[in-house]
Structure 1
Amino acid sequence: MKKRIYIYELDCYKVASEEQIQRMRISPERYFNLEGLPSEELAEKLEEFIWERGKMLAPSSMASEVTYYNNIREFLIDRKIQSLDAREEEKIIRMLKGWMLERGYALSSKKYRPAYDKIGIESPSIVRHMKKILKFLEEEDGRDEQEKDIWTLKNFDFPIYRNPIKNTETINFTKIVQPDIREEVKKVIFMHLKYSPLGTIHSEIAAVKRFSKFLKRKYLDIQSLQDLERMHIEEYLIYLQTEAHDRKNYRSDLYALRRVIEDVGNLYERQYMSELFLSNDFPSTPRHVFKFYSDAEIKRLNEHIFKMDEQICRALIIHQLLGTRISDTLTLKTDCLSMRNNRYFIRIDQVKSVTYEKAISEEVAQLIMKAIDYTKERYGETTYIFAKKDDPTRPYQYSMIQNQIMTMIRQEDIRDDNGEFLKFGTHIFRHCYGKKLTEMHVDDWMIAKLLGHTSIYSVHHYRKIGNKLMADETRAAREKMDMILLDIIEGWDDYEI
């Protein structure tokens, strides 16, 4: 076994470009020190971890990890820790934090997020690195997936209804602190996972976690959902109204909790559990306040979108022109276009609803075809038009789009009509699309069809706003908006995009 592993010995350094090597923040002569560790077994495990990291990361990243690793090495020697067990992560992290306090290291740090102009609190790098080591050392768990406290979704042999633009790999039950409740909930979630969207599943787990935290504070004797009585629900409702401040309205949260509790009752044949909630327990539906961009705000934003990466630019302009949800725009498939009776049609496979088709103009169709050609030239045949760079089998991730736009708004100082930083949301474009349909006097059923709705229930939100904007000058503004988008599309040929 080697006692020292130098950066220049790692696989990532051997295959690195000159530019990558120059970006390294420390000398390649620095090394991971395996000397003096409390046991040979521990040293071998850490050596294996270092070599494996050296295959995955860039040289500059490995250079950064030298400091974190060597701090952890000192901790292991000081505390005479012979082995590391991933199952004892909480205990090990607690010991590490105690050691850090003795050495004067901060237990948290502030990180400025320029894209959102916020300061976040994060764990120190030493702690995060220790968790990576423990994760690497985690022994293969031979149990069925549904018996574990953290489920890896790819290990299930049935289809899971997930949103492709969000990177969700696991379901975590560990923060449901009562073991019996955790097991009850896992059984119910396993049933729900076969027919409910993953977003619904996460809403249910979040609701149960919040309820579990409440029970731990107020009712330590409640260890099973089967022990619940009506008074516990009433106390929880009071708690949400007076002490909980995580959300503005807990209506959907309570519905999710009720679903889980009732299905636990059905599973264990405890029919009384279906009567724990009453119809008047749920807060009134929050009033929908649809946000819209003015034409001037859209113009300012699009002027800068046009300067972004060409394919991201196409995605955002197509998103505006189609009026789709962002999940439906980013998951447009390369075979989505068709032509009938000399008109182009696009098929939209909605993530949250039904598949539908609608006619589009030749200009929009040409724009989509350019996006398809761009992807084929770079990645060959793919399922999605907007393919993820490092994994073309998947579509663009929403977080990537959101972060790039938010960063751009700050860097380019894009302001709304009131002089404040423009608040960005991809769904606002959909609201603008729906509002403009009302300004054009399109009937409710046609608006619902163009938006991909299965009913006209939501259309009155667009109509309510649109009725205030029916004057002739609004039609002129709409035409101006259309011209802005078409000018951008036509201008792309001039820029050879």
Structure 2
Amino acid sequence: MNNVKIQDIKSNQQSKYEEIIEYLNQDDGYWLENDKWDMTESLFMGHKPRNKERFIDFSRISNNKLKNEVKYYFIFNSKENLLTSKYINILSTTLKQFSAFLNKYYIETKSFNNIENTSFVFKFRNYLLENGFKLLDNNKISSTEMNSIPYVLDFIQNFYDDREETEKDIWYSKNIKGAKIPASGVNGHINFKSIPIYYRDVVKRYFKTIITKKSWNHCHQIISHLNYFFTIFYGQRYKDGFIENLSRQDIENYLYWLNNDYEDKNATYKSKFISYVRTFLEYIQIAQYDKAPKKEVSFLIFQDDIPRRELNKDEVKKAKFVPEPILKQLDNNIKDLDRPQFIPIYILLRETGWRGTDILNLRYHNCLEQIWNNKEQSYNYYLCGEITKTGIAQLKIPIRNKVAEMVQQSINKAKELSTEENNPEKYLFNIYEGKLKGEPLAKQNLLQTIKRLIKEKDIRDINGELYHFKTHSLRHTRAKEYVEQGMGISIIQQILGHQSLQMTVHYATVSENTLYEKWKDTEDLELFKVDTKTNELEKVDLTSDAGENLIRYEYVKKNLDAVRVPFGVCFKASKLPCKQQMNHCLTCASFCTTTENIPEYEEEIEYVKKQIDISERCGRELWAEKNKTYLKLLEDTLTRVKEQKIIHKNGKSREDA
């Protein structure tokens, strides 16, 4: 922030301070007039006191303006649900030390906006060390609560800053139009102050390109991992400008430091520290940022550097799918939920397989559409919603008419109850009164309601214990049902809103019952039969038409590619390489090429090199090898063309042809 901008912000300071006073005057002036806030009061929205500490005590802060700014930090973040109750309670325990510190160093200061951050943090840390706190190896104070105090300063200074949100060093989700906030909450902010000043504008510029494309949670993850990247390099005495001059050796050092820091973490955890950094560096290089690496990123960070993300097989198997007997009991008893407003949410979870946050994020004005079906000559109902996790602005999936009728009833009810004041976001499943007015029904409340139903109906698992229900298990279960019904995996991917097919494949398992049914179907092929009396295999009658066809089918399936090609099907042996697949006409005896074709060779060579790079980065080793073979053939042929001018059949020069 340059000096001119600081002056602009401070010139507006008085009017902004008046906004703070106006905000504290809410609830009949309770927040402004009282220096001790009773957390058991309904005004404080039901926060539970921690360790029997009933009050948040601001009375020790002698500077009245600073006191009001601290009060504003607490109540604004509480009312806007930007901080959890637990965090508010923990932070309240710091006020004794914080007040004494402010009284010692800032008794005459007019505002937190006039305090220089670095000096504040330095003084506060030294003050705590003088008062018995210890310094940890990571250079932080041995108190999570006290390390959070500088955030108060950041928040107040950000409040006084009237610039465009993306120009600031702290971005609040509520101030960024188009930010992808899940309906279940998770607002908060993204703080760039930990990014070195030299690179801060570069990182902020990059985030402007992704902040409305990726979910807010995803952006939080990215800034966290980029922050580690900068911290570790600067911690190793690298200086401003190191990114521009990055070498492969630097990246190898980074990988070494990373693996040492997180040697106890799995591959999935560590992969993000590399993949997020690579994506960032690739983008700023392609976009030609001034501070981008000079060396091509693909030569700095290799695909093999990124550990393959792994799924814990035991976790996949652990109650991810709702067992069929329990699913039937839930479906049959869901109408008895003690909070009926959650019934349609459960039904939509079962019907669609969407995430709970996606269902809660539905809007009554655009969540149901009728789309014409040419084949059936009728309109079909589609559920329409935003999938914030994968950045799908509007996903439309078909739903049954009965479910559509239920959705329409919910739409009618929402329209009847909603006003601009109690439901400005037009949520289909909205809270219309109380402290959470204008927010969607909470997923946690749905969980608790279903758990009460499970207890009431005595729904138990195979071990005789009350079933432990999770909403996400309905998503897995629905995906499995789609598979068992024979739906194509790519269609399932689209319905579930998955970003990659690989994620969908994790759900694509079938139950033991379905496996049995499929196995029974294979008996109809009569390739063999079991004599139940002798337990011996009976031979298939190959002389019959059915037996001959089935054997031919099995042979094709196991030994031939059976690939669809233009004008027919290729039945080449699966182990036999296809000469036409990669080499085109280059190896054909009738092929002729001359120097006129050199530009075509050069263009094709560049294209194939890119294909090899893509194949290697995507882990497609087979296609990478095939393309390398093709590339060598192209380069060898080009060399011969340049030397011999013309090549035909037997390779002899035909310059006089």
Determine whether 1:205 maps to 2:223.
yes
Distance change (3 Å), C-alpha of 1:47 and 1:193: closer
Structure 1 residues 367 and 101: CA distance shift in structure 2, 3 A: farther
Alpha-carbon RMSD across the aligned residues, in angstroms, is 5.3
CA distance in 2, matches of 1:259, 1:29: 47
Q: 1:221 to 1:443 in 2, by over 3 A?
A: closer
CA contact (8 A) 2:342 2:446 kept: no
Change (3 A) 1:246 1:424: farther
| Greater Cα shift, 181-190 or 252-261 | 181-190
Which of these residues, 267, 271, 291, is aligned with residue 289 of structure 2? 267
Q: 1:185 aligns with which of 192, 195, 203?
A: 203
Looking at structure 1, the residues matched to 227 and 293 of structure 2 have their Cα atoms a distance apart, in angstroms, of 22
Q: Deviations over 1:149-169 (max 9, x none)?
A: 21245555x744554544335
Alpha-carbon separation, structure 1, partners of 2:135 and 2:343: 41
Deviation (angstroms), 1:385: 0.6
Displacement of 1:260: 0.9
Quote the Cα distance in structure 1 between the aligned partners of 2:491 and 2:75. 57
TM-fit CA distance, 1:443: 4.6
Structure 1 counterpart of 2:400: 360
Q: Is residue 317 from structure 1 mapped to residue 335 from structure 2 by the alignment?
A: no
Q: 1:440 aligns with which of 479, 485, 489?
A: 485
Q: 1:424 Cα deviation (Å)?
A: 5.5
Shift of 1:319: 1.2
Please report how far the alpha carbon of residue 283 of structure 1 lies from its aligned counterpart in structure 2 after TM superposition.
Answer: 1.8
TM-score (ref. length: structure 2): 0.53
Q: Is the CA contact 1:12–1:55 (under 8 Å) kept in the aligned structure 2? A: no
Counterpart contact for 2:60–2:100, Cα < 8 Å:
no
Matches within 5 A, 1:53-452: 72-78=98-104, 81-83=107-109, 85-86=112-113, 87-88=115-116, 92=120, 95=123, 123-124=144-145, 131-132=151-152, 135-136=155-156, 140-141=160-161, 145-153=165-173, 155=175, 159-161=178-180, 163-176=182-195, 178-193=196-211, 198-221=216-239, 224-244=242-262, 245=264, 248-249=267-268, 250-265=270-285, 266-268=288-290, 270-274=293-297, 275-287=299-311, 290=316, 291-298=320-327, 307=337, 309-334=339-364, 335-338=366-369, 345-351=381-387, 352=390, 353=392, 355-362=395-402, 364-380=403-419, 383-389=426-432, 395-396=440-441, 400-402=442-444, 405=447, 417=462, 425-444=470-489, 447-448=492-493, 450-451=495-496
Aligned residues: 441
Q: How far did 1:436 drift?
A: 1.6
Alignment gaps of 5+ in structure 1? 109-120, 475-497
CA shift for structure 1 position 251: 3.0
CA distance in 2: counterparts of 1:202 and 1:56, whole angstroms: 18
Structure 1 residues 127, 319: closer, same or farther in 2, change over 3 A? same
Cα distance in 2, alignment partners of residues 394 and 385 from structure 1: 10
Specify which structure has the bigger relative contact order, considering alpha-carbon pairs within 8 angstroms and separated by 6 or more residues. 1
> What is the DSSP-based 3-state SS (H/G/I as helix, E as strand, rest coil) of the residue aligned with 1:385?
coil
The aligned counterpart of 2:67 is: 46
Q: What secondary structure sits across from 1:267 in the alignment? A: coil
Amino acid paired to 1:85 = F
Contact 2:198/2:240 (CA < 8 Å) preserved in 1?
Answer: no
| Structure 1 residues 71 and 205, CA gap change in structure 2 (3 angstroms) | closer
User: Residues 229 and 170 from structure 1, CA distance in 2 versus in 1: closer, same or farther, beyond 3 angstroms?
Assistant: same
1:283/1:449 Cα in 2 relative to 1: closer, same or farther (>3 Å)?
closer
Tell me the distance in 2 between the aligned counterparts of 1:299 and 1:394: 31
User: CA offsets, 1:331-365, max 9 Å, x none?
Assistant: 22324335677876132234233522303141x23
8 Å contact kept, 1:435–1:462: yes
- The separation in 2 between residues aligned to 1:29 and 1:229, in whole angstroms, is 55
Please give the per-residue CA displacement for 1:291-345, whole angstroms capped at 9, x wherever unaligned.
Answer: 3221345467776995454324432332122212334312223243356778761
Q: Show CA shifts across 1:242-261 (max 9, x none).
A: 43156642334422211111
- Residue 397 of structure 2: SS of its match in structure 1? strand
> Is the contact between residue 10 and residue 51 of structure 1 (CA under 8 Å) also seen in structure 2?
no
In 2, the alpha carbon distance for the partners of 1:270 and 1:13 equals 52
Distance 1:401 1:106, change over 3 A: farther
Tell me, yes or no, if the aligned pair for 1:160 and 1:197 is still in contact at 8 Å: yes
Bigger Rg, which one: 2
Aligned residues with identical type, % of pairs: 21
Q: Secondary structure at the match of 2:295?
A: helix
Q: Aligned-pair distance for 1:384?
A: 2.4
Q: Which whole-Å deviations, capped at 9, do the CAs of 1:256-309 have from their partners, x for residues lacking one? A: 211111233331264414221123222224258543221345467776995454
Contact 1:149 1:172 in 2 (8 A): yes
Return the TM-score normalized by structure 1: 0.67
Moved more, 227-236 or 458-467: 458-467
Over 3 Å counting, the alpha-carbon distance change for 1:321 and 1:219 in structure 2 is same
How big is each residue's C-alpha offset from its partner over 1:422-452, in whole Å with a ceiling of 9 and x where there is no partner?
6665332111001122333445465456545
Deviation (angstroms), 1:139:
6.5
**How has the CA–CA distance of structure 1 residues 88 and 301 changed in structure 2, closer, same or farther, with 3 Å as cutoff?**
farther
Aligned counterpart, 2:516: 471
1: CA distance between counterparts of 2:193 and 2:443?
A: 31
